[in-house]
């Protein structure tokens, strides 16, 4: 029997039609604004351009080599595959970045391994955050990067990416070692963990306990249809890469926000669509990058962190993250550690402040990151405050008297406001403070009431669709977990 939807069929169809028309209308405005540059390409994202021009062949060659060596190793000496991954990773880092960079990475590993010997968690946190600060704050950052001579495409991205992820991995190793009852893991375990090449430069971060357990298993049998799923996901990611590359020839969603005089002439709908599209693009880029890496990791019999949740499905601050690996790391070692079950308002405040403090250091402290962290930290806590407020007995009794449909619509209305708060807070980091202020002013002040209420209503319809989808998936999951009747 099919799953019955909570929303009536006509209501579900109406919401879908409204959202589709709104997306097409706002998209046409962005396309119209980009028409003058159709023969060219949006090159505002230098990472994407470098990855798929001069750096493309290096990436393909290096990762193909890893896949080849990993396959040969898994067929011949599966018990030593982690050693082969480590050796290949170290050689790839040495060949791409040079001996000085490799020595810098090894020095960070040695420092945090030495600290882990004391088996004191506070000391592991202190040493790890100091190491992270050393590559994110001046003059220590420039001093370390100065050892890497030469100049080539993405050198800075590889330097700071590899260094940052190395320190996060080393902190995970140190914290897991401090909790181990029998001794400590060896430095060889740390090197095998850190120099797994697919994760080295761009992540995601797998916590040490997960990586060590998975890479140490000798049972390399695959589940039914696992290879078929890997091939399907690989083809989907190739298709996404091609689609985004083509998309850049028609929509200048990254270049347009840099010209404030021009975007100020756009309609409110086009401006809202441009802000939303920037988040969608960033999600697509993260999904493609982590998707390709995760496909290689699955070929190596690992279960890597999931790709980021689609921004279109986000209306809750607690689920807003583009790097699931870093999010899992922060939740395990900071957020959940301090906040525990996240029911206590004060503990939740301390946990979120500590989490965003570490995140600020990870991103690199600057004015725009400070503002981004404060707003997102507030949004996360405000959700809990509102939840506690509505659990207050008079209000909970009032909601209990409401019909299920009315309660759903009220929650969707609040979810629509939350959705745009997430959009406005995060375009701070993706574009600029000026562009975020322009969008906020147009949507909330000069666009009120027509644009404000109409865009809010469209978002309300979208949240209804998202909530319905989540409900159906939850019902299907619950149904699949029930034992089949004989």
Long-range (24+ apart) CB contacts under 8 A made by 479-485 are 479/3
Q: What tokens appear for 54 in the block?
A: 């001069």
Looking at the fold, whether 289 and 397 belong to one and the same domain comes out as: yes
483 inside domain = no
Which of 12-16, 77-81, 482-486 bottoms out in mean pLDDT, i.e. has the lowest?
A: 482-486
**CB-based burial of residue 464 (10 Å sphere; 0-12 exposed, 13-18 middle, 19+ buried)?**
buried
* Residue 342 counted as domain residue: no
Residue 2 has pLDDT above 60, yes or no: no
Regarding predicted confidence, which is higher, 422 or 154? 422
Question: Helices marked H in 340-449 — which ranges?
Answer: 345-363, 367-390, 393-401, 404-430, 433-441
Tell me which of 187, 216, 245 is where a domain ends: 216
Query: DSSP string of 389-413?
Result: HHTSHHHHHHHHHS-HHHHHHHHHH
pTM of the model: 0.88
| Residue whose pair of structure tokens reads 């309660």 in the numeric block | 407
Residue (of 272, 218, 222) closest to 444 by Cα position: 272
The whole-angstrom separation of Cα 180 and Cα 173 is 11
Q: Which two tokens stand for residue 321?
A: 């993250």
Q: What is the pLDDT of residues 216-243, one digit of tens each?
A: 887 777 777 888 888 888 888 788 777 7
Is the previous residue joined to 439 through a cis bond, with omega within 30 degrees of 0? no
Q: Is residue 348 part of a domain?
A: no
Same domain, yes or no: 211 and 269:
no
pLDDT band at residue 352 using 50, 70 and 90 as cut-offs: very high
Q: Cβ(45)–Cβ(285) under 8 Å? A: yes
Residue 123 has what pLDDT? 96
The predicted pLDDT at position 316 comes to: 83
Tell me what pLDDT residue 389 has: 84
Instruction: Using the predicted structure, report yes or no on whether residue 47 has a pLDDT greater than 70.
Output: no
d(CA 344, CA 384): 9
Q: Which of 463, 413, 440, 415 is nearest to 268 (CA)?
A: 440
Once rounded to an integer, what is the mean pLDDT over residues 286-297? 86
- Quote the CA–CA distance of 452 and 401 in Å, as a whole number: 30
Rounded CA separation 424/35 (Å)? 26
Question: Residue 431 is part of which domain span?
Answer: 9-40+229-329+356-476
pLDDT in tens, 405-434: 888 888 889 989 999 999 998 898 888 889
Which tokens go with 435?
Answer: 């562009």
Please identify, among 216, 245, 274, the residue that sits at the C-terminal boundary of a domain: 216
Give me the number of domains the chain comprises.
2
Pair (207, 184) in one structural domain: yes
Tens digits of residue pLDDT in 324-344? 889 899 999 999 999 888 888
To the nearest 10°, the Cα dihedral for 109, 115, 116, 122? -120
- Distance (Å, whole) CA 144 – CA 301: 35
Angle of CA points 254, 255, 256, to nearest 5°: 100
Contact 84, 73 (CB under 8 A): yes
Instruction: Output the average pLDDT for the chain.
Output: 85
Q: What is the structure's pLDDT at 42?
A: 66
């Amino acid at each position: 029997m099919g799953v019955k939807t909570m929303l009536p069929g006509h209501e579900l169809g109406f919401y879908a039609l409204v959202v589709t028309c709104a997306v097409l209308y706002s998209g046409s405005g962005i396309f119209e604004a980009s028409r003058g540059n159709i023969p060219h390409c949006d090159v505002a994202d230098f990472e994407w351009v470098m990855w798929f021009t001069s750096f493309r062949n290096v990436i393909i060659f290096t990762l193909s080599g890893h896949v080849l060596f990993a396959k040969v190793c898994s067929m011949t000496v599966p018990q030593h595959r982690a050693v082969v991954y480590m050796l290949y990773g170290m050689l790839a880092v040495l060949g791409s970045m040079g001996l000085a960079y490799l020595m810098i990475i090894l020095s960070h590993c040695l420092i945090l391994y030495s600290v882990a010997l004391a088996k004191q968690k506070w000391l592991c946190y202190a040493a790890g955050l100091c190491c992270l600060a050393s590559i994110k704050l001046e003059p220590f950052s420039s001093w370390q990067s100065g050892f890497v001579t030469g100049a080539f495409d993405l050198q800075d991205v590889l330097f700071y990416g590899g260094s940052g992820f190395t320190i996060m991995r080393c902190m995970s190793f140190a914290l897991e070692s401090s909790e181990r009852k029998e001794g400590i893991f060896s430095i060889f375990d740390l090197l095998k963990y850190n120099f797994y090449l697919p994760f080295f430069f761009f992540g995601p971060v797998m916590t040490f306990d997960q990586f060590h357990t998975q890479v140490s298993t000798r049972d390399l049998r695959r589940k039914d249809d696992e290879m078929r799923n890997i091939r399907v996901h690989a083809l989907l990611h190739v298709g996404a890469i091609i689609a985004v590359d083509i998309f850049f020839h028609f929509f200048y969603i990254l270049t347009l926000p840099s010209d404030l005089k021009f975007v100020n002439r756009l309609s409110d709908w086009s401006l809202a669509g441009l802000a939303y599209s920037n988040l969608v693009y960033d999600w697509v880029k993260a999904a493609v990058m982590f998707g390709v890496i995760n496909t290689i990791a699955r070929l190596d019999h690992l279960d890597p962190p999931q790709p980021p949740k689609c921004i279109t499905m986000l209306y809750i601050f607690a689920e807003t993250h583009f790097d699931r690996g870093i999010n899992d790391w922060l939740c395990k070692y900071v957020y959940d550690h301090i906040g525990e079950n996240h029911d206590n308002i004060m503990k939740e405040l301390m946990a979120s402040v500590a989490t965003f403090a570490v995140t600020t250091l990870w991103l690199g402290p600057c004015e725009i990151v400070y503002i981004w962290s404060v707003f997102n930290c507030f949004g996360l806590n405000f959700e809990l405050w509102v939840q506690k407020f509505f659990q207050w007995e008079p209000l909970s009794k009032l909601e209990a008297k409401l019909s299920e449909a009315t309660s759903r619509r009220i929650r969707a209305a609040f979810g629509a406001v939350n959705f745009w708060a997430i959009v406005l807070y995060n375009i701070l980091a993706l574009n600029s403070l000026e562009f975020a202020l322009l969008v906020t002013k147009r949507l909330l002040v000069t666009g009120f009431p027509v644009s404000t209420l109409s865009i809010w209503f469209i978002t309300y319809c979208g949240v209804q669709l998202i909530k319905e989808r989540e409900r159906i998936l939850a019902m299907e999951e619950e149904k699949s977990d029930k034992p089949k009747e004989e």
